[in-house]
Chains A and B, each alone.
Chain A
């Protein structure tokens, strides 16, 4: 996504038979390209314009253009509304490609909108979250607007006391509580949209992986959701451990038929740099070598409560029976990088809680200051830039 303004195109509506399909073009020369293909006078689609006509003999369609700075992406942009058969759209795209447009990759339009300041990171994340829930468009919270409304309510309440014509404190409290709820919902969505840091529990069969997994999962954790079958066969759970969302995979047991070294080979392809591995072996076998060195690994010597267990140097003694070492394991797992956007939303939730407390204690001026801090937090873009990039991976092409 380096070259921000090269011309990209994609189908922006689902690929299916429907009344209309939308092909979107964004970048330098979007207008000129369509003008040429539709045989329009140059300049006919410069600025915010509309044109109806035939495009390269493929379809009779409506073209809507936006100038730079005024469009969804912030770039020169043209939407082509054509008849809704996948074939038509595909042929139009082919024609556009011949004219120099590149096919957009997933989320590229939104990414450009974000780069160009048309959307805040929060907007993007919300979109991503909603997209994932298959709620196409619509209902996007305009978070900053909501905050600004509260701010102006509060300021009115503070400044125009003499007029007695202003909303009461309760109204502010209600607004703040609503916002807190929305934030909370948003936080949950964003957490789901984010690619979570993952922890794989691995090791030879019967090393006690499942026991450890259940110990982590059962006692100290809260299940957020479960995704079956992500790894070879073992269970994968998104758990909230000490306030952090982590995806824990137990790559355990398959009736003992496949060696777990093999299991490792299988997951290896799916392993990301941010992932962590807990390698378990009561015999302290040096299996860690089979895991590429760039991943953080915690080697644990399981079943440390048994008499015959010999703990080798560099191995952490752990027992699911006595609980020895479990704390250390949790520490290792939760030390994974927390996605900054959910961190940010949690911070916002915390701040809103404080603002509500201040309102309840009749310190509206303090509440106002806290809300301004929330506003700054929400508008700060770079803080969650990273998460944005990742969230974009989940977008469909053309969105």
Chain B
């Protein structure tokens, strides 16, 4: 059923990438009429870079999206070609589920999800916003159409004045084969929003047939009966093989000798790139002593002719890329089907948006995905969901809801972006969380349920399923609380580092009957295992949060506070923080100084009262 799109709709999402899709679905779930405008409907949710979803912290985020009612997890499950649980030997808190996906199936599935959610799709390129900054009224399309709305979400990814670079060539584009959103970027600049330039890059793709796999190491799927979404009934299927090879000393030499031909090193790209997803040029320059960098070969789809070379992101000229690729074992006769390149794009400066992802200067304009300064599909999808829900809540005049950093990676990311900012594309890491032992992939749905409920993004069907699982969780927990083994409580046994969930089931004779139960039982054990650390982390956080409410305005001169270090006194006199949390952010101020400040304020308030 297609609705007429010229009538006034409520929420308009600009850009059909990973962020845009989740934004539109969330808005529709909240009951808003929702339009998604994107230049090519066929390319909705196209993976611009490697064909994989998940990873360390990212995979956990995907499961949070599922718990919040998003679609990314289900789509990743359905289109999975291969599954790997990263960090299997590093502890359950940092397990990172990751699937290889079929890139075409992925686009198709996402498009279907949009349709199922009742989102109207409009093919077109937004060139301008209409109305004052405070209240945007409509958007203008390149073909002259004007679409009105009550709230807007911009999710244009790497497209805002996107410039692509390879060797000496430079051309406008949001990614290979797509146009650049030049007019919209101009409009954003003219509206005086603060923006910055970031860059990222991608690897060459090669024809599968042209590679001799006898030189490669086979990477088989892990069989763990895993799936991202609780709605997926069976574990993801293994439909493809990935391969691993390593660069030879020759590869690095070629790169080193041609460095001045890379736009990254000739100074032509000025945008900041991601430190943690570096170009191969960066790897060679920063770790000159290393060789044998791993290169993963990932098929772009089931039986796809094309393989993605993960780990070899480069924007060298074509002939150098050819040399680089052919220096790899098994790649003597490799044929490149698409060359690597870099993209430089505009995104919003930290401080422009708040924790609902609304641009502060406006009342109804939201931002999501790469233009927040993030990088990655998962980060984009999660922020998209939040922005879409926020926009819908705005037009429905509902309370604003923000995620918190102790219970989800989404909360960590939003808090980091809004309060700390980023001067390079922001990628999620488990170490960004101070509550990592709690932010696990197995308990993602439990952690975000309150948020999902408050946001209103979880459909009834998923909510019911959750309530059922929660009942099981409580039931298992009760059983464990009641058991004692050799005079010890099961809870205490769980805390021993060498004890795994499976050991506990063995000890108490509880066998999970299916995949769901297996996971719920694991969660019960792991929650018990880490409970001490988690509650301490949460307590520290609560204390720190209170710092924000302690005003330092009564201190005129920090030299009066003899109990703090001279360094801290100097820094505090210079910076004049408003609250104790601002003081905490100053490097010269240590924990002991903060405590001393609290005591000082307390003693003064007491003496004033008496």
Contacts and interface: CB of A to CB of B under 8 A. Distances in A.
A357 B590 CA distance: 31
Interface in B513-571: 530, 533, 536, 562, 565-568, 570
5 contacts: A74-B566, A117-B592, A163-B311, A165-B290, A365-B436
Contact of A158 (B94, B296, B310): B94
Contact of B431 (A116, A155, A165, A362): A155
B93 A366 contact: yes
Contact of A357 (B89, B497, B592): B497
A133 interface: no
A365 B430 contact: yes
Contacts of B90: 157-158, 161, 169, 362-365
B430 A159 contact: yes
B595 interface: yes
B498 A357 contact: yes
B96 A161 contact: yes
Contact of A74 (B96, B310, B565): B565
A268 to B, nearest CB: 36
A69 B569 CA distance: 10
Given A159-B430, A164-B294, A381-B590, A363 B92 contact: yes
B133 to A, nearest CB: 39
B429 interface: yes
A367 B533 CA distance: 11
B83 to A, nearest CB: 15
B56 A159 contact: yes
A162 interface: yes
Interface in B82-126: 86-87, 89-94, 96
Contacts of B430: 158-159, 365
Interface in A219-259: none
A361 B293 CA distance: 28
B55 interface: yes
A358 interface: yes
Given A74-B566, A158-B94, A358 B290 contact: no
A68 B567 CA distance: 8
B482 interface: no
Contacts of B437: 365-366, 369
A158 B88 CA distance: 10
Given A162-B310, A163-B293, A365-B437, 17 more contacts: A69-B567, A117-B565, A158-B87, A161-B87, A161-B90, A163-B294, A165-B287, A165-B290, A165-B293, A354-B497, A362-B89, A365-B93, A367-B91, A368-B436, A380-B592, A381-B591, A381-B592
Contacts of A75: 566
Contacts of B93: 363, 365-366
Contacts, number: 112
B500 to A, nearest CB: 8
Contact of A363 (B91, B429, B592): B91
A161 B294 contact: no
A159 B431 contact: yes
A379 interface: yes
Contacts of A382: 592, 595
Contacts of B294: 162-165
A116 B565 contact: yes
Interface string A50-78: 00000000000000000011000011000
Interface string B582-594: 0000000011110
Contacts of A364: 89-91, 94
Interface in A359-399: 360-369, 373, 379-382
A4 interface: yes
Q: What are the 6 tightest A-B residue pairs by CB atom distance, in nearest-first order? A: A117-B565, A363-B91, A365-B91, A365-B93, A364-B90, A361-B498
Contact of B533 (A158, A159, A357, A369): A369
A115 interface: yes
Nearest to A363: B91
Given A363-B92, A382-B595, A69 B497 contact: no
Nearest to A358: B497
Contacts of B595: 382
B497 A361 contact: yes
Contact of A369 (B287, B293, B436): B436
Contacts of A157: 90
Contacts of A117: 565-568, 590, 592-593
Contacts of B498: 357, 360-361
Contacts of B310: 162
Contacts of B86: 161-162
Interface in A138-192: 155, 157-165, 169
Contacts of A158: 56, 87, 90, 94, 430-431
Contacts of A69: 566-567, 570
Most A CB within 10 A of own CB, among B55, B436, B570: B436
Contact of B497 (A4, A155, A363): A363
Contact of B91 (A116, A357, A366, A381): A366
A297 to B, nearest CB: 36
A159 B430 CA distance: 7
Interface string B410-445: 000000000000000000011100001100000000
Most buried by B among A75, A363, A368, A380: A363
Most buried by A among B93, B290, B497, B570: B497
Contacts of A381: 590-592
A162 B91 contact: no
A66 to B, nearest CB: 13
A351 B533 CA distance: 12
B285 to A, nearest CB: 15
Nearest to B530: A366
Given A158-B56, A159-B431, A357-B498, A74 B87 contact: no
A344 to B, nearest CB: 14
Nearest to A121: B592
Nearest to B93: A365
Interface in B277-322: 287, 290, 293-294, 296, 310-311
B144 to A, nearest CB: 46
Contacts of A161: 56, 86-87, 90, 96
A112 to B, nearest CB: 9
A175 to B, nearest CB: 16
Contacts of B56: 158-159, 161-162
A365 B431 CA distance: 10
A8 to B, nearest CB: 15
B579 to A, nearest CB: 21
- Counting chain A CB atoms within 10 Å of each CB, which of B56, B91, B591 scores highest? B91
Contacts of B536: 373
B539 to A, nearest CB: 12
Contacts of B296: 162
Contacts of A368: 431, 436
B434 to A, nearest CB: 9
Contacts of A358: 91, 497
Nearest to B499: A361
A370 B56 CA distance: 20
Contacts of B592: 117, 380-382
A366 B499 CA distance: 13
B301 to A, nearest CB: 21
Nearest to A380: B591
Contacts of A373: 533, 536
A349 to B, nearest CB: 17
A364 B431 CA distance: 12
Given A164-B294, A379-B591, A116 B89 contact: no
A379 B594 CA distance: 14
Contacts of A68: 566, 570
B104 to A, nearest CB: 24
Nearest to A372: B434
B497 A366 contact: yes
